[in-house]
Amino acid sequence: MNGNKNLTKDFAVKKIIILVFVLFALCSCNKKYDNESKNISLKNDCYTGKEYAKEVKFIKSVSDFPDLFEQQKIIHLETEKRSLIGRIDNLIYLPKQKRIVILDNSISKCVLIFDVHGKFITRIGSNGKGPGEFVSPKSVAYGNNTLVIYSEELLKLLFYKLDGSFLKEIRLSQQGWRFAFDKMVINGKDLYGYTNNIYFNEDPHGNKHRVFKIKDFTHFENAYGEVEDTYGIGDGNIVCFNGKVIFPSIFSGDIYQVSSDNKKTEVFSKLGVLTNTKDIATSKNPIQFIRKNFGKMDYIWKLGVVKQFLFVVRPRKISVIDLQGNVINHNLKWGLKLPKGYEGVSITLGFVFYHDGIIIASTEKAKIIGNAVPNPSLIFYRLSK
């Protein structure tokens, strides 16, 4: 009898172990799914391959960009003297940290922090040239519990905590660095900056690049990407996608990723040539050529990541790319729709991406009194299925 009891007990323990293993496997952060006989690794909590395949099918079937999303919620940003916003040049939504980070380089010329309900928390930095101060904030990034702001006029990086506590700053010129940061992204403990500034795009060895890596937020380690003449049309973009640093060529339609060993770049995806720059370069007057043909030109405006998809924004179309670099929809039509009672868009380039969808900033008509325009409201749209 004791033998049977022990056997029953061992079997029960094994069942529990198997059950725990199955539950762990279902919610693993590294799932696999087979899409058209190609294994793709998913890096998202409890995100099954079946759900991903369903979303791929849905994105393929849609022709208009707004039809991909459904309105989720609206957050009203608190309006008070210290939190006035002129224009949102960058926005970072941090639901885990319960914070919204907004860069305004038009009126407040600083970075403002709100909670996820729109209540104003603090403003980071002050206008000046001393430690912790900046002029003309160009870009902002968050990662590894650190908020990084780049001051274009002073050519320096400033590091803060989300509560506004100043950590340190790096003056690029004092380091002998001749590169700028039009856009930034943090991957792990490293900062990557993207630039098309023709005057500040050299690594310490005098070689010209578009992406520069600051290891551990302290020292230059590597640079990537050949310089591209954008003729002043766009300054490009850089994002983290599926654990990799991704950046585009503006006209060629090539999208690159930094290799796993962080020493070189690889082509991640190809959209095909968007605009043949040879026509511009060989014209008698490139500026006049651009003015005449600007409405016909196609190029990459910005990148964004929603769930496990890379969105490539162009002047009139938007492309969507999957985890393997396959273009699953190349011609989504623009056409943002605002809820009734809202007017105007307060975000540069129309909208920003966040993990589940897009955010549009707009003003409630009812709150506008004369010339007094309150802070915009943030309208969240979630990717449909």
> In CATH terms, is domain 78-341 a member of 2.120.10.30?
yes
Q: Is the pLDDT of residue 252 over 80?
A: yes
The residues near 347 (Cβ < 8 Å, ≥ 6 apart) are 87, 88, 91, 359, 360, 361
pLDDT recorded at residue 59: 95
pLDDT band at 29 (very low <50, low <70, confident <90, very high): very low
Confidence class for position 131, pLDDT limits 50, 70, 90 = confident
Q: Average pLDDT over the chain, rounded to whole?
A: 85
Give the Cα separation of 48 and 19 in Å (integer).
18
What pLDDT does residue 369 have?
83
Q: What is the dihedral of CA 84, 87, 88, 89, to 10 degrees?
A: -130
Give the pLDDT score at 348.
83
How many other CB atoms sit within 10 Å of the CB of residue 295? 8
Q: Tokens 């299925």 map to which residue?
A: 385
Q: Are 381 and 362 in contact (CB under 8 A)?
A: no
Among the listed residues 286, 284, 281, 318, the one whose alpha carbon sits nearest the alpha carbon of residue 299? 318
Place of tokens 């856009």: 183
Q: Inform me whether the pLDDT recorded for 28 exceeds 50.
A: no
- Greater confidence (385 vs 253) lies with 253
> Which CA distances in Å does 316 have to 24, 236, 313, 338?
44, 16, 8, 18
Q: What are phi and psi of 17, to 5 degrees?
A: -60, -45
Tell me the two tokens of residue 162. 């989300």
User: In angstroms, rounded to a whole number, what is the distance separating the alpha carbons of residues 211 and 195?
Assistant: 6
Q: What is the pTM of this model?
A: 0.85
Which of the listed ranges 162-166, 293-297, 365-369 does the model predict with the highest average pLDDT?
Answer: 162-166
40-44, 79-83, 162-166 — which is least confidently predicted?
40-44
Three-state secondary structure call for residue 150: strand
Region 124-148 average pLDDT: 89
Least confident range from 16-30, 83-97, 104-118, 121-135: namely 16-30
Asked whether residue 30 carries a pLDDT value surpassing 70, the answer given is no
DSSP 339: P
Residue 43 sits at the vertex; the CA angle it makes with 19 and 307, to the nearest 5 degrees, is 120
CA 285 to each of CA 198, 282, 289, 291: distance values in angstroms, whole numbers, following the listed order: 20, 8, 6, 10
Q: Where does the pLDDT of residue 293 fall: very low under 50, low under 70, confident under 90, or very high at 90 and above?
A: confident
Domain with CATH 2.120.10.30 in the chain: 78-341
- Give the pLDDT of residue 15: 40
Residue 7 has pLDDT above 60, yes or no: no
47's tokens:
């995100």
Q: Which residue has the higher pLDDT, 279 or 353?
A: 353
Question: Tokens standing for 272?
Answer: 């095909």
Average pLDDT for 348-357? 90
Of the pLDDT bands very low, low, confident and very high (cuts 50, 70, 90), residue 48 is low
How much of the chain exceeds pLDDT 70, in percent? 88
Predicted local confidence at residue 31, as pLDDT: 39
pLDDT of residue 328: 95
Percentage of residues in the chain with pLDDT exceeding 90? 59
The predicted pLDDT at position 3 comes to 46
Q: What is the pLDDT of residues 175-201, one digit of tens each?
A: 999 999 999 999 999 999 999 888 899
- 306 pLDDT above the threshold of 60: yes
pLDDT band (50, 70, 90) for residue 349: confident
Q: Tell me the pLDDT tens digit for each residue of 49-59.
A: 788 899 999 99
**Which is higher by pLDDT, 290 or 117?**
117
